[in-house]
Amino acid sequence: MNELIRTLQALVGREAVVDGVRCQVIEILESGPRVVVRELDGAEIQANQFGDPQRRVPRTHTLPLKSGIRDDLHPVVRALAGEDLATRLRNLL
């Protein structure tokens, strides 16, 4: 598992356009493991604890490493990883 996490760390900072949305990997979570991605274009309004609009922040998504549909990497993770890193990740799963 440690080798998998070390390999996933290479994703941090990588950018890709997935379904017309520019995104960037900002963090790797060991539980799962999971990949945290933020959208680079646009922002959503974040509310405070009272529900009042506070500020604009980039939308983030926490993605599983494996696809829920087939036995492969999640399609967004695969796009961010590129062919070489995706192959290394598949071998570690």
| String of DSSP letters for 35-69 | EEEEESS--EEEE-TTS-EEEEE--EEEEESB-SS
Residues 46 and 1: their CA atoms lie apart, in Å, by 35
Closest by CA position to 63, among listed 37, 91, 31? 37
pLDDT tens for the chain, residues 1 to 93: 689 999 999 999 999 998 889 999 999 999 989 999 999 987 889 899 999 998 988 999 999 999 888 888 999 999 999 999 999 999 988
Longest dimension (CA), the chain: 47
Q: What is the pTM of this model?
A: 0.83
User: Cα separation of 71 and 7, whole Å?
Assistant: 19
Query: Are the C-beta atoms of residues 75 and 86 closer than 8 Å to each other?
Result: no
